[in-house]
Amino acid sequence: MAFGSVIGSWMDHHTRKRGIMTVLIINNTNSQSLLWHILYVTCIVLSIITCSFGCLASEMEKMAFTKDWIVVITKKDDSSLSAANAWMKTIDLSSSVVSPLTAGYIINSISYRFACMIFIIWNLISVFMEAYIIIRVYNAVPELATREPSFSPGEGTEAKCCKKCPNFIQRTIGKWLTLFYMYYQQNVFPAAFGLTLLYMTVLGFDGIAIGFAKSQGLSALWLGILRSIGAAFGILGAYLYSLIETHSSARKSGFIGLTAQHLALYICAASIWLPGSPFDPITYFREITFAIWWRQLQDSFIFIRSKNQSETGSNDIDWSTWTSNGHSIISAFILLIGIAVARLGLYMADLSISQIMQETVPERERNTVFGVQDSIAQFFSVLKDILTIIVPDPKTFGTLIIISILFVFSGFLCFCYYLLTVRFDLKFGINRKITSLENTITKKDTLRFSLK
Task: Average the pLDDT over 25-49 and give the result.
Answer: 58
pLDDT, averaged across the chain: 77
Task: Give me the residues paired with residue 282 across strands.
Answer: none
Nearest to 53 by CA among 39, 37, 32, 70: 32
Q: pLDDT tens digits for 213-266?
A: 888 888 878 888 888 888 889 889 988 998 888 888 889 999 999 999 999 999
Q: 373 is in which domain, residue-wise?
A: 179-298+323-423
Amino acid of residue 36: W
The residue-averaged pLDDT of 66-91 equals 78
pLDDT tops 50 at residue 307: no
At 421, give phi and psi (nearest 5°). -65, -35
pLDDT in tens, 163-210: 555 565 556 677 778 888 888 888 899 999 999 999 999 998 888 888
Q: Is residue 110 part of a domain?
A: no
Model confidence at 3, in pLDDT bands (50, 70, 90)?
low
73 plus 214 within the same structural domain: no
In a domain, 25, yes or no: yes
- 254 and 402 share a domain? yes
Give per-residue pLDDT as tens, 382-434: 899 899 988 888 899 999 999 999 999 999 999 999 999 888 766 655 555 44
Residues 76 and 200: beta-carbon distance below 8 Å: no
Cβ atoms within 10 Å, residue 452: 9
Phi/psi at 249 (5° precision): -160, 160
Question: What pLDDT is stored for residue 128 in this prediction?
Answer: 84
Q: What is the pLDDT of residue 359?
A: 86
Q: Is 322 left (phi over 0), alpha (psi -120 to 50) or beta?
A: left
In this structure, which long-range contacts are made by residues 446-449, counting pairs with CB atoms below 8 Å and at least 24 apart in sequence?
448/249, 449/249, 449/250, 449/251, 449/356, 449/359, 449/422
**99 lies in some domain:** no
Query: Per the domain annotation, does 185 fall within a domain?
Result: yes
Same domain, 388 and 270: yes
Does the pLDDT at position 17 exceed 90?
no
Distance in angstroms (rounded) separating the CA atoms of residues 98 and 449: 35
Same domain, residue pair 189 and 334: yes
Average pLDDT value for residue range 287-301: 79
* CB-based contact 425:431 (threshold 8 Å): yes
Rounded CA separation 273/437 (Å): 50
The predicted pLDDT at position 433 comes to 47
Total domains present in the chain: 2
Looking at this protein, which amino acid is placed at residue 118?
Answer: I
Rounded to an integer, the average pLDDT of 19-36 is 55
